[in-house]
């Protein structure tokens, strides 16, 4: 199975997270506009990635001949639901620069939790899930 598209999207997602981290470190209030734009851009990639995984990757694995990969895919899909819901709620809440600037510390606290979780998931897929798919 060719998963290059998924891997490329992971690079985009990880780059987006890194960009948000850089803006936050440089000053949330001072970079609220850039942060809002980065949240919107990241959300576009994340939502596309989730949709393609749900419509193509997971069904292909679950209907494939490898029972171990089918189960791994189910587990990854189930685990991602909570992560996706948390990220989508975060991204909806933080798209306006004025709100980000006004509630900078709340943004920082939520971003630290949600983006750390998303980052960890991308790394886990890159080191465990995708290699298992490519090995089949």
**Nearest partner of 12 among 41, 40, 51, judged by Cα:** 41
Nearest-10 crossing angle of helices 104-124, 67-93 = 170
pLDDT level of residue 1 (50, 70, 90 thresholds): confident
Residue with tokens 């069904």: 59
Q: Say what the pLDDT of residue 37 is.
A: 98
pLDDT higher than 90, residue 92 = yes
Mean pLDDT of 111-115: 97
**Domain limits of the chain?**
4-135
Give percent of the chain above pLDDT 70: 100
Rounded Cα distance between 73 and 21, Å, is: 30
pLDDT in tens, 53-80: 999 999 999 999 999 999 999 999 999 9
Helix (H, G, I), strand (E, B) or coil at 22: helix
**Is-contact 57 73, C-beta < 8 A?**
yes
Element at 65 (helix H, strand E): none
pLDDT in tens, 116-129: 999 999 999 999 99
Rounded Cα distance between 74 and 78, Å, is: 6
Question: How far are the Cα atoms of 37, 87, 95, 99 from residue 48, in angstroms, in the given order?
Answer: 17, 13, 18, 25
Mean pLDDT of 10-24: 97
Q: Say what the pLDDT of residue 62 is.
A: 93
Confidence (pTM): 0.93
Question: How far are the Cα atoms of 7, 35, 43, 57 from residue 71, in angstroms, in the given order?
Answer: 21, 37, 28, 13
């Amino acid at each position: 199975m060719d998963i290059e598209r998924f891997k490329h999207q992971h690079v985009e997602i990880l780059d987006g997270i890194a960009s948000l981290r850089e803006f936050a470190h440089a000053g949330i209030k001072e970079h609220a506009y850039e942060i809002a734009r980065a949240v919107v851009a990241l959300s576009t990639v994340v939502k596309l990635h989730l949709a393609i995984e749900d419509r193509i990757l997971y069904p292909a694995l679950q209907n494939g001949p490898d029972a171990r990969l089918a189960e791994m895919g189910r587990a990854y899909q189930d685990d991602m639901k909570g992560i996706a819901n948390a990220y989508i709620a975060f991204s909806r809440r933080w798209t306006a620069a004025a709100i980000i600037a006004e509630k900078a510390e709340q943004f920082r606290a939520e971003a630290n939790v949600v983006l750390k979780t998303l980052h960890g998931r991308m790394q886990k897929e890159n080191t465990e899930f995708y290699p298992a798919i490519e090995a089949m």
